[in-house]
Structure 1
Amino acid sequence: MAFEPPRRLVRAFGETAPEGDDWLATLPEVAERAVARRGLTVERVQVPGGRSSLVVLVRTAEGAPAVLKLAPRRARPESERAALVHWGGRGAVQVREEGDEEGVLLLERLHPDVSVRSLPEAKALLEAAGTLRRLWVEPPGSHPFETVAERTGRQAEAMRAGAAADAQVAPLVDAALAARAELLGGPSEQRLLHGTFRQSKVLAGDRMPWLAVGPDPVVGESAFDLARLVRDRVEDLIAQPSGASTTRRRIKRLAESLEVDQERLRGWTLFRAVESGVRARRVGRERDAELLLEFAGWL
């Protein structure tokens, strides 16, 4: 079978890959080798798939359904593996093999075309939040994961560069960086977080109704993880005349339901929305940038 990467992956890789990165060119060969090594039967490549990995629906030599996921080193697949192993299937997809092949994961098969995003909005938020709560556990000792301070520190540098090049976003960047400094100013809880959690990252399963996939794990406070969920369906929020008030109610409801400080959730929601907006503008996704920065302005 020809392992043709989906257009979404090709487009995203073109936006973010450093010069000289040949992962996409070598992907078909890597996929063939991974399939042959495990004796897998390929059903199909998942489309549209993600922005940082190739997902292939397969069956094992015993005929069991599974997912083969291939990702470049910069997507931190070994960090993903470590988090999934630590969760052990509690709230997240299970790893099907120990494995030491870098950038290759064999995972439990969920229902890839059914996410909580398919539910009505209120129900989707409830189910997603319940899934997220199960992931917030103590990290393993001597863990390999980035901390929130480390990750947002890297992001802050890129945000400053974006603000220097675009005076229009500078006030929002200043507000986001000030919020980050305040949030990191004192001690906070240290939990293993999903890192990139949203409704589309929660898929229907068989052993549990909903399970999380695709973590980019990080260690820090729960409010950081929940902040990405606040802006889910941002295009719908922006289209509503009451979008700003709906957002504030969503922050209050999610904070109360998951016992997270409301102001800390607001602060991390601001930081993450501005960071995503500046990044989208940097790679030419202007429509996404406009939505995210308008949303951030409500906070």
Structure 2
Amino acid sequence: MATAPIEPPQRLVSSLSGDPDGAVREWLAALPTLVQQRLDAWKLTLERVQAPGGRSSLLALVRQQDGTPAALKLTVPGRVSAHEAAALEAWDGWGAVRLLRSDDAGGALLLERLQGAVSLRALPEAKALLEAAGTVRRLWVPAKADHPFETLAGRTEEAAVALRTAGSLTRAAGPLVEQALELRRTLPAGSDEQFLLHGAFRQGKVLAGERAPWLAVGPSPVVGERAYDLAALVLDRFEDLMAGSGAAPAARRRVAKLADSLEVDRDRLRDWTLYRAVDTGVREVAAGARQRGELLLEFAAWL
């Protein structure tokens, strides 16, 4: 059991300290106690809290009672990741980190230990995209009729107001915002696919493991069509693509290559990528990351 005080990573503290939600701030203040309670309840020995860590969760490297290494994750309450445990149970280690135990009430997850410092971003771009495509394919399992997950229609509907509001801060992006909002309205109704998706898939969410070479972590699960998940992969490391010559045609080739390799419709992948690029781009601008946001909007315009 841990004897030294448990300190949340500074990145997590900085990310959540200004959150207007009182419950989030209360959770952050209580986090050292919550971690210790879970260590005691599950008879875990704390090795260290991983830093810099994430912006909405704490990850602690621990040992189970028999000495087996594991990772204890506590996530901010009320976030999209509320159904992370259910998604990991559905995948049962196939393409994703294995869930060992969960505490639904407290939002705690005990996960198999992966190599947190080694993600697909360590690989050359072409190899990373190949491995990422193989990993995300494993996660696309048909959703059960009584699944607990959010749907694409619901997730994008909730995002529409924020997109329109944030888009007003970038007048030049007006036509792109309107196009993205129209795509948001039509795309979810245009497909009958009902797959369980990772929801936040990118190369940095795929870590090296012992049981399998690469395993996905940190899902924000949602049910819908595969092109939505794949769109995030199209946008991954887009800055590297834009820095090269012939960036615009290279972006379109990436869409075509990924769509064909995973048997996803090219046009729908292009449309979901445009939507996600605009949605992310205007949010980045609104948050003060103007340069990155405007690059994303330029990427969207190429499509």
Shorter-chain TM band = over 0.9
Stretch of structure 1 that moved more, 27-36 or 248-257: 27-36
Alignment-derived partner of residue 283 in structure 2? 279
Stretch of structure 1 that moved more, 3-12 or 104-113: 3-12
Task: Tell me which amino acid in the other structure corresponds to 1:94.
Answer: R
Cα deviation, residue 249, structure 1? 0.9
What are the equivalent positions in structure 2 for 1:101-120 lying under 5 Å apart? 101-120=105-124
Cα deviation digits, residues 179-223 of structure 1 (max 9, x gap) = 223323434211000000000001111111111000000000000
Preserved contact between residue 231 and residue 270 of structure 2 (Cα < 8 Å): yes
**Cα distance, 1:265–1:65 mapped onto 2, change above 3 Å:** same
What are the equivalent positions in structure 2 for 1:133-148 lying under 5 Å apart? 133-148=137-152
Alignment-derived partner of residue 58 in structure 1? 62
User: 2:223 aligned to 208, 219, 222, which one?
Assistant: 219
Cα deviation, residue 117, structure 1? 1.1
Preserved contact between residue 73 and residue 108 of structure 2 (Cα < 8 Å): yes
The answer to whether 1:167 aligns with 2:168 is no
Cα deviation, residue 174, structure 1? 0.8
The answer to whether 1:176 aligns with 2:180 is yes
> CA separation in 2, counterparts of 1:165 and 1:119?
36
Cα deviation, residue 98, structure 1? 4.6
User: 1:249 aligned to 253, 259, 265, which one?
Assistant: 253
Preserved contact between residue 142 and residue 196 of structure 2 (Cα < 8 Å): yes
The answer to whether 1:210 aligns with 2:210 is no
Stretch of structure 1 that moved more, 102-111 or 20-29: 20-29
Q: Which runs of 5+ in 1 are unaligned?
A: none
Q: Report percent identity of matched pairs.
A: 55
**Cα distance, 1:238–1:86 mapped onto 2, change above 3 Å:** same
The answer to whether 1:6 aligns with 2:9 is yes
Q: Which runs of 5+ in 2 are unaligned?
A: none
TM-score, normalised via structure 2 length: 0.93
The answer to whether 1:82 aligns with 2:94 is no
Alignment-derived partner of residue 26 in structure 1? 30
> CA separation in 2, counterparts of 1:293 and 1:11?
27
SS at match of 1:241: coil
Task: Give the superposed CA RMSD.
Answer: 1.6
SS at match of 1:29: helix
Stretches of 4+ moved more than 4 A in 1?
none
SS at match of 1:97: strand
**Cα distance, 1:291–1:3 mapped onto 2, change above 3 Å:** farther
Stretch of structure 1 that moved more, 150-159 or 278-287: 278-287
SS at match of 2:97: coil
User: 2:234 aligned to 225, 230, 238, which one?
Assistant: 230
> CA separation in 2, counterparts of 1:67 and 1:288?
32
Cα deviation, residue 48, structure 1? 2.2
